[in-house]
Amino acid sequence: MSTTTFQKRQKEMKRLEKQKMKAERRANKKTKGEGEPQEEEELTVMTGPKPLDFDISQFDKQFDAEIEP
């Protein structure tokens, strides 16, 4: 019977140790987040679509010429 008691005690100690480690990780994560500013990607203002590098009217004229018989 003593082995069962010993095993239970070991299991409980392991559980407590795991709990402490988890609490430490949480504390480290919390202090790290407060102390150091997190790097954020710089945002740019987008007002609309980018302008085209070429004149689209050329293609419109060509397309219209191909369609008309």
What is the domain partition of the chain in residue ranges?
Answer: 1-33
The set of residues, in sequence order, having a beta carbon less than 8 Å from that of 59 and lying 6+ positions away, is none
C-alpha pair distances (Å), 41 with each of 3, 14, 36, 38, 44: 58, 42, 16, 10, 10
Q: What is the rounded average pLDDT for all residues in the chain?
A: 79
Question: Which three-class secondary structure state does DSSP give residue 14?
Answer: helix
Alpha helices in the chain (DSSP H): 2-35, 57-67
- State the pTM of this model: 0.42
The pLDDT-based confidence of 13 (bands split at 50, 70, 90) is very high
